[in-house]
Amino acid sequence: MSQPDFADVAVKPPLLFLGAVVAGLLLSLALPIGPGLGSANELAVAVGLTFVVIGFALAAFSVRTFTRAGADVVPGRPATTLVTNGPYRVTRNPIYIGFILLYFGIAILANLGRELSLRMRRTNRTLAELA
């Protein structure tokens, strides 16, 4: 029995990250903690925008590198080539890293303190269990 030559994903990664941003915004509106949405100070805005720009640039550069190599970015389609140049020399999933940086920047800009702290605690707990 042969395995399919593509990632069988239930939810496309961009939709997953968009869903997380929307859920975080709704959570902040439903259960306001701290100063509230849109109340980030100048430093937070600068840091948030920096993360957004770097995340978007990394994701865009990664997609461009992928398509220039003749590979298909859509996870449900068969793999046609192995990309090992550009950001793929450093990490296997630079598009996901770009999404995470973008999400982090949006969270800072929207002042999603609760969402970020919950995610960080969950990540730290998972990393502690793996160690």
- Residue 72 CA to residue 107 CA, distance in Å, equals 30
- Residue 34 CA to residue 111 CA, distance in Å, equals 9
Q: What is the pLDDT of residue 50?
A: 95
- Residue 104 CA to residue 82 CA, distance in Å, equals 29
Q: What is the pLDDT of residue 65?
A: 94
Q: What is the pLDDT of residue 85?
A: 92
Say if residues 105 and 49 touch (Cβ distance below 8 Å): yes
Rg of the chain on CA atoms, in Å: 17
Q: What is the pLDDT of residue 20?
A: 85
Is the four-CA dihedral 63, 65, 68, 72 of positive or negative sign?
A: negative
Q: What is the pLDDT of residue 40?
A: 57
Q: pLDDT 10s digit of each residue in the chain, 131 long?
A: 466 556 666 777 788 888 888 887 787 777 766 665 555 567 777 888 999 999 999 999 999 998 999 888 877 777 788 899 999 999 988 998 999 999 889 888 877 555 566 667 777 777 777 76
Q: What is the pLDDT of residue 62?
A: 94
Say if residues 47 and 106 touch (Cβ distance below 8 Å): no
Q: What is the pLDDT of residue 68?
A: 92
- Determine the 3-state secondary structure of 18 from DSSP: helix
